[in-house]
Structure 1
Amino acid sequence: MKGFDFDFLTITVTDVVDILFVAFLIYYTYNLIKNTLAVNLLLGMFIILILWFVVDALNMRLLSTIINKFMSVGIIALIVIFQPEIRRFLLLIGKNTFLQKNKAWWGYLFGSKDIERDNLVRIKPIIDACKSMKKSRTGALIVFVKFYDDQLFANSCELIDSKISKRLLESIFQKYSPLHDGAVVIAENKIKSASCILPLTDNDKLPPQFGLRHRAGIGVSETTDAVAVIVSEETGEIAYAKQGRVRMNVSFGELEKLLNKDF
């Protein structure tokens, strides 16, 4: 194909398309692993790779042999370590999430109000439900995920797959509801499941007043890109967990801004 010749380098149209596709792949891969433990795992592997070059240059035979054995199974190790992220990536392609995200991006670019109205429809009933549950001191744990992983949630949840509504959320977390224990998972603008049992955080520096709801909300935000809204049964206070960190005493105005920003 015809291209541009810069004396020392010839760039063709194919090269430009190739670079754009690689940039596109890196961007979406980053979006999948950001705010998860996979970033730390990737950083750890990068450090080991640098160490490998250093010990090889210094001719440190014993350490070099050990790291060489580790690197020889690098591809298999990558598949095992990043299995959840690889699975999410393939499911993301299969569900055409790329097209949906690009449609939203074009909507923002050209000033479309449809996206803004959709956000209001989705978030308003959640805020209203939190107001009601705060007033009645009804404990609640609502988890928001950008992509619903059936393997992660299906085994410990009751499938709902319903439109988000204030009354439904209140009914689920009502004290005598059979679904009130556990978390509600919201994804794709729907209440996907309820009564979800989530992994608790291993953080031993949390305040002693944090119960299972807070620990489960923090735990799921540590291992995935999810965020969690926790309504305390004892105090009615709203907490917001993201990336393993929790923000206490969140006002409803702040909650709306956080949800709009993250989702």
Structure 2
Amino acid sequence: MRLEGVRGLVCDVDGVVHAGDRVFDSAVESLNAWMHGGLRVVFLTNNASRGPEELAARLQQDGVRMTPDQVITGAMAGSHVLARTVDPGTRVLVAGSAALDRAVRDQGLEVTSDPIEAGAVVQGYAPTVTLQLLHDAAHAVSRGATWVATNRDAGLPTAWGVAPGNGAYVDAVARATGREPLVAGKPETGSYTLALERLGLTAGEVAGIGDRLETDVLGANRAGLRSVLVATGVHGWPEVERAAGEGASEKVPDHVVDDLSQLTFG
């Protein structure tokens, strides 16, 4: 399948380049060939468990020839939204990874572990998130703290199947408090704005690639990118047909491929 007029890509990571420890060789080979040919690529992930350097190191280990400045993570998007929502002196409870903690501090905000003094909560995926931390997040949110979620992906692709993602933990806090968070990552357009700025291209020159209809495809469609679903992760043809049949046009991709080797650009 050839996409004409595309000069850049916004590419998801989990379920597209790898799933847990499993690397999709065809994706690595395709990405390297495209970048060698001059295609600009930014890796945009909702996963907030790692910083850009860590994720770049993982992609390089997978065999992708890229640099950390090509990465935008859920932690970066979440901290970006948070810093533009709260007052500078607001103390933030971080319900997530060390990478999310660093990203919040990099925005000049103070981090606290005390749910009573927290004026804001930012929630992102981390395998180390404990039930106590969810309790603390819910406590702060119920007291009126500003609440930002890096994303609401319900599941996370792994080598053995789908694990609970950040959305599952966010839903727990939402059910407990009766509140809903501001969402920073895909499918919200803010993360795509960051990606387009990094690429130096307009939306019409860029394709968005991912494995989820409700985040990658919906986000690309909302942002005006050409949307491509790759069926190596969570969703495939059955889900596309279901979305089309239900009239959920925003979640229907412009293109569907079985793996990235089926794509070329002109």
TM-score, with length taken from structure 2: 0.25
Bigger proportion of residues as helix: 1
Bigger proportion of residues as strand: 2
Higher RCO (CA 8 Å, separation ≥ 6 residues)? 2
